[in-house]
Chains A and B, each alone.
Chain A
Amino acid sequence: QQQVKQSPQSLIVQKGGISIINCAYENTAFDYFPWYQQFPGKGPALLIAIRPDVSEKKEGRFTISFNKSAKQFSLHIMDSQPGDSATYFCAATLYQLIWGAGTKLIIKP
């Protein structure tokens, strides 16, 4: 019940394409769903986050889509750039962060 399942484990996208990472959860008590971006040798940085009463949130090229009934949420990166190459973690919070397993994204020039 406390798990967040993330897929795919790794993803290769051409420059300019759309990167999509999916997450699913079971616990309907989760109240905040952040996405973190982590570059090698750095700590995770909050990228974008959503609360379950909203179905979509967009910040620049990054969009979270949230499907409360399906208990799924996804990150879309539009016009993906080589600088977006990083590991992305979805998470869900109740009293602490429950992390997905991570997706290593590589954007090919």
Chain B
Amino acid sequence: DTEVTQTPKHLVMGMTNKKSLKCEQHMGHRAMYWYKQKAKKPPELMFVYSYEKLSINESVPSRFSPECPNSSLLNLHLHALQPEDSALYLCASSQDRTGQHHFGNGTRLTVT
């Protein structure tokens, strides 16, 4: 079991749907991350929150919208996704921006 919990584990959505991915950590970490991982590739950084403020947005399309309601929670809101957005979405946290990343097991997203 990981210390970073992601829900749901699997998600299938149509291109017109709106859905949200959720991530929770209770390690007191102040940095949280969203990554996208395609098969046989390393994770690609999407967003970084540091002390609940968005500090990095790696030119991600606006159909992905992150939210950090508090220091333990991180959401990723999805709207009007494309089939090429199908991937494993990973959340991670670290004590601060320079610390060790702890990853969740991801949400496997399929866009139909």
A residues neighboring B (CB under 8 Å):
31-32, 34, 36, 41-46, 49, 87, 89, 93, 95-97, 99-102, 104
Contact = CB atoms under 8 A, between A and B. Distances in A.
Contact of A95 (B41, B90, B92, B97): B97
Contact of B101 (A41, A97, A101): A97
Contacts of B97: 95-96
A43 B100 contact: no
A101 B103 contact: no
Nearest to B58: A96
A89 B45 CA distance: 15
A93 B42 contact: no
B98 interface: yes
Interface of B: 2, 4, 40-43, 45, 48, 56, 90, 92, 97-98, 100-106, 108
Nearest to A39: B105
A104 B40 CA distance: 9
Given A43-B104, A96-B48, A102 B41 contact: yes
Contacts of B40: 87, 102, 104
B98 A43 contact: no
25 contacts: A32-B98, A34-B100, A34-B101, A41-B105, A41-B108, A42-B106, A43-B4, A43-B90, A43-B106, A44-B43, A44-B90, A44-B103, A46-B102, A93-B98, A96-B45, A96-B48, A96-B97, A97-B45, A97-B101, A99-B43, A100-B42, A101-B41, A101-B42, A102-B40, A104-B40
A102 B105 contact: no
Contact of B42 (A31, A43, A99): A99
